[in-house]
Amino acid sequence: MISTVNEQKLALAEGRTTSSALTEEALKRASDPAGEGSRVFTRLYADEARAAAQASDTLRKAGLARSPIEGLPISIKDLFDVAGEVTMAGSVARAGEPAAPEDAVVVKRLRAAGAVIVGRTNMTEFAYSGLGLNPHYDVPRNPWDRGTGRIPGGSSSGAAVSVTDGMAVAGIGSDTGGSVRIPAALCGLVGFKPTAERVPLTGVLPLSFSLDSIGAIAPSVACCAILDAVMAADERPLPVPADLGRLRFAVPTTLALEGMDKNVAQAFEAALSRLSAAGARIDEIAVPEFAGLAAINAKGGFTAAEAWFWHRDLIERAGDRYDPRVVSRIRRGKDISAADYLDLQAARRAWRAGVEARIEGYDALLLPTVPVVAPPIADLAASDEAYYAANGLILRNPTLINFLDGAALSVPCHASGGAPVGLMIAGPAGSDRRILGIGLAVEALRSQTPA
């Protein structure tokens, strides 16, 4: 059983453990040659983590705890700046580039809150895929069905597996089209994508300025709420569980329910049944805007345009060191004109207005985070056709919420022991605290239901 932030916080407060002990256990798991650590971390901060843990223990003995994450081991995705280091972002193309002059704002806030940063986690190169494959640093194996070797989901692949395997109590990742929620769903964890402006992106290597957001992958909704408050510098009381009997949910029938495999369909229907039995009102609604998003993004969308803007000089210098499946998608942005980009911005404004009008009056949208369970790594590594087909399908539902600039939570909804499946709870921009409150209630309901 994976320990939550609150469980580790209580153990520290009661003197049943120390930050040093928690950190040593995390480092032991990360360094185990029989484990996933070599594929999970691109850099392990063993000495720095031990020093931070000792400092935290000293403060705690003096009666000081800076936040609920004081002394807890946390991992950070390999696209967050750390002072004095080159931010590689899961690539080798940035070798020799200038080192970051200071920590990313997110890293500063985590450190100020007492977090013990155990290492940088592996990711899809430059965050440009939802699968988690990386030809430079290998692929962390999904904890479900390791015998087959299944994808962890991406792009925050190492972040998720660092949590499932006890190398961190939570992993901090980025989400441009599902990169927090997808690995959370496929690995049986909780992942939260906030409204983009909620957490500062200063010092985070970008994929898309218009779509990037920063969130946590963790064992519970409460963990994600705590970490979100730290990263957003939100000092208000944490969200509380919503009253499910007073909630009205919308299930979009357009696009979002297509292509579900048997495992996902059964788990999703069971989740809706639990909510309905608890008194929630659930309506199926058409959202035709969802069907139109592919046409809006036909030339590559914000991701290709803005990635090309950032990467063009690096590709000129080191394009042959990129993952071919990543650089080919970035290069699509070269053909997007200024007029195309302005058209895209206008289309997004109209699209958002249309979607927001349709979901007005509902407390949240409910949809499968990912319509399929994690496919085998070998199948996707061997075939470009299989890779791109799986990538498009797995990114499809999460991307809808990024384009909306919404807040979204993926919570496990599968039966105990089954293939991991995520239920996405989503709302428009600014609904972060409401979505977290709903997530707390949904999570509690699932724990009360016999498997």
| Catalytic hit among 3, 19, 56, 155 | 155
Rounded to 5 degrees, what are φ and ψ at 124? -60, 140
With bands split at pLDDT 50, 70 and 90, how would you rate the model's confidence at 302? very high
- 157 falls within a domain: yes
Confidence check: pLDDT of 422 > 80: yes
Please confirm, yes or no, whether 155 is among the known catalytic residues: yes
* The token pair that represents 287 in the structure block: 């959202």
- Contact by Cβ (8 Å): 131, 178: no
Which pLDDT band, with edges at 50, 70 and 90, does 289 fall under?
A: very high
Residue 297, domain member (yes or no): no
Examine residue 164 and state whether it is found in any structural domain, yes or no.
Answer: yes
> Which entry of 77, 156, 162, 193 is annotated as an active-site residue?
77
Alpha-carbon distance values, 130 to 82, 353, 374, 396 (Å): 24, 27, 11, 10
Does the pLDDT at position 449 exceed 90?
Answer: no
What amino acid is encoded at 190 in this protein? V
159 found inside a domain: yes
Tell me whether residue 321 is in a domain.
no
Helical H segments across 173-320, by residue range:
181-187, 221-232, 262-277, 288-296, 301-318
340 assigned to some structural domain: no
Is the overall model pTM greater than 0.95, yes or no? yes
Token duo for residue 182: 């997808």
> How many structural domains comprise the chain?
1
State the average pLDDT for the chain.
Answer: 98
pLDDT in tens, 222-271: 999 999 999 999 999 999 999 999 999 999 999 999 999 999 999 999 99
Segments forming the whole domain that contains residue 188: 5-290+360-448
Q: Is residue 332 part of a domain?
A: no
Residue 1's pLDDT is what?
73
Q: What pLDDT sits at residue 450?
A: 56
Quick check: 358 pLDDT over 60? yes
CATH number at residue 182: 3.90.1300.10
Is residue 320 one of the residues assigned to a domain? no
Tell me if residue 174 is catalytic.
Answer: no
In the residue annotation, 179 being an active-site residue is answered as yes
Confidence of residue 84 (pLDDT cuts 50, 70, 90): very high
Catalytic residue among 129, 179, 210, 213: 179
* pLDDT value of position 41: 98
CB atoms within 10 A of CB 136: 15
Residue 433 has pLDDT above 70, yes or no: yes
CA distance 126 to 112: 27
In which band, very low, low, confident or very high, does the pLDDT at 448 lie, cut at 50, 70 and 90? confident
